[in-house]
């Protein structure tokens, strides 16, 4: 199958939009490009009944929405995902509460040797109190894992201790540099009043410190290692899927980050496509064309804007990381291809060339 919808024999394609929007799409009227409302004032995600607050829908340059989720038993999803990536390695930690379960998971990949270390600390739902606001401290403490991301305004302090699946000791201590006026991509996506999602995506945040894996030290240098955040809070349909891509680093001495998504936002009038250049966000208000081959994750991934010329990027993968869990009624899985991006992004009459900039692209599907 190609992800533009043409399937090879024996392979099924993921839907171009979530099944919850099937009736809406059947009525027609879909447009690839659209105007998205920029929010400039603080508001709450939900009304007093736990339904989506219409005033929250849209995008903003800074986190402005409080995720006051309530009700919707077993459908609420809350996660704080961070990834710290450079040319040599990626280290990632996710803390999540899915209503029926909580967990802290991590993975580390050495791109040069191919070594992978991963661990999972599952707990009951509600084990951790997930903050309603993006710029808050998060801590996970258990007999198995100790993780703290301290956010008191300004730079972030991160500490992690845990063990991989084979007993490998993992420890990290580092700082994420966060300039006060550095913009991010914040969106609220409406599938219906009862099903909706808030996301806050951050990139091009320099890191300094170290990760130690089974006694081997990996340095995080601010000229090479950058932090990427995905803060998610919402009420999700049972069946869902997404594409997500990130490009983060320096080009010509300037910070350039790109966040791109597909499938989960299609047909909602809101997307997660944006360019962060020198700390300033430039919103891309159209659904993009993704071309890649799920039969071979190591083939190039091309993502481009069709209506405008804002995005034309190709990822050449050097590592594919596949994960999955199938418990029958509950299942999740997908593949993340890490590699180097090349191409160009355009905004406000300017073109910025991207040459061999690190990042990833992924496809995931869920029954949750």
**Which of these, 237, 300, 226, 295, lies nearest to 259 by C-alpha position?**
226
Q: Which two tokens stand for residue 49?
A: 């009944």
Q: Where are the domains of the chain?
A: 19-367
DSSP state of 13: P
DSSP states of 149-195: EE-SSSSEEEEEEEE-TT--EEEEEEEE---TT---EEEEEESSSSS
- pLDDT tier for residue 6 given thresholds of 50, 70 and 90: very low
Residue 28: pLDDT over 70: yes
Give tens-digit pLDDT for 137-167: 999 999 999 999 999 999 999 999 999 999 9
Q: Tokens in use for 224?
A: 């090479």
Does 5 have pLDDT greater than 60?
no
Distances (CA, A) of 144 to 93, 125, 128, 141, 200: 14, 17, 14, 8, 28
Using CB atoms within 10 A of its CB, is residue 9 exposed (0-12), middle (13-18) or buried (19+)?
exposed
User: Which tens digits make up the pLDDT trace of 109-135?
Assistant: 999 999 999 999 999 999 999 999 999
Residue with tokens 């993704």: 290
pLDDT digits (tens, 9 = 90+) for 301-332: 999 999 999 999 999 999 999 998 888 888 89
pLDDT > 70: what percent of the chain?
97
> In the predicted model, is pLDDT for residue 287 greater than 50?
yes
In three-state secondary structure terms, 55 is: helix
Count CB atoms within 10 A of the CB of residue 90: 24
Tally of CB atoms within 10 A around 356 = 12
Whether the pTM exceeds 0.85: the reply is: yes
pLDDT in the model for residue 13: 78
For the segment 278-299, the average pLDDT, to the nearest whole number, is 97
pLDDT bracket for residue 99 (50, 70, 90)? very high
The most distant pair of C-alpha atoms in the chain lies apart, rounded to whole Å, by 59
Question: Mean per-residue pLDDT for 213-235?
Answer: 98
> Among 22-26, 38-42, 148-152, which is the least confidently predicted range?
22-26
Q: Is the pLDDT of residue 7 over 80?
A: no
Dihedral over Cα of 198, 201, 207, 211: its sign = positive
Q: What is the pLDDT of residue 328?
A: 84
Report the SS3 class of residue 125. Answer: coil
How many residues are given for the chain?
A: 368
pLDDT higher than threshold 80 for residue 136? yes
Query: For 326-362, how does the pLDDT look when each residue is reduced to its tens digit (9 = 90+)?
Result: 888 888 999 999 999 999 999 999 999 999 999 999 9
């Amino acid at each position: 199958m190609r992800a533009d919808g043409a399937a090879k024999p024996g392979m099924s394609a993921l839907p171009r939009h979530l099944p919850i929007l099937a009736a809406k799409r059947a009525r027609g009227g879909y447009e690839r490009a659209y105007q998205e409302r920029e929010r400039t004032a603080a508001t709450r995600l939900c009304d007093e009944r736990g339904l989506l607050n219409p005033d929250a829908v849209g995008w903003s340059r800074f986190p402005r929405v409080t995720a006051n989720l309530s009700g919707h038993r077993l459908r609420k999803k809350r996660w704080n995902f961070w990834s710290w990536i450079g040319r040599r390695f990626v280290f990632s930690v996710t803390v999540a509460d899915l209503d029926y379960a909580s967990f802290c998971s991590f993975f580390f990949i050495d791109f040069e040797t191919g070594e992978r270390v991963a661990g999972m600390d599952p707990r009951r739902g509600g084990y951790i109190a997930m903050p309603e606001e993006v710029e808050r401290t998060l801590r996970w403490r258990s007999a198995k894992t100790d993780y703290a991301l301290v956010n008191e305004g300004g730079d972030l302090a991160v500490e992690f201790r845990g063990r991989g699946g084979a007993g490998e000791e993992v420890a990290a201590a580092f700082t994420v540099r966060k300039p006060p006026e550095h913009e991010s991509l914040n969106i609220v996506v409406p599938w219906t009043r009862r099903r909706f999602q808030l996301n806050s995506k951050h990139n091009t945040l320099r890191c300094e410190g170290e990760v130690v894996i089974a006694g081997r030290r990996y340095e995080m240098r601010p000229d090479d290692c950058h932090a990427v955040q995905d803060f998610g809070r919402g009420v999700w349909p049972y069946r869902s899927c997404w594409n997500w891509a990130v490009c983060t680093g320096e080009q010509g001495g300037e910070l350039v980050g790109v966040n791109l998504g597909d499938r989960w936002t299609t047909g909602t009038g809101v997307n997660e496509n944006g360019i962060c250049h020198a700390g300033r966000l430039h919103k891309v208000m159209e659904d993009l064309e993704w071309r890649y081959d799920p039969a071979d994750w190591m083939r190039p991934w091309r993502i481009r804007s069709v209506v405008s010329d804002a995005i034309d990027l190709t990822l050449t993968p050097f590592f594919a990381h596949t994960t999955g869990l199938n418990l029958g009624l509950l299942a999740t899985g997908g593949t993340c291809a890490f590699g180097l991006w090349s191409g160009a992004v355009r905004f406000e009459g300017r073109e910025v060339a991207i040459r061999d900039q690190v990042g990833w692209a992924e496809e995931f599907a869920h029954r949750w």
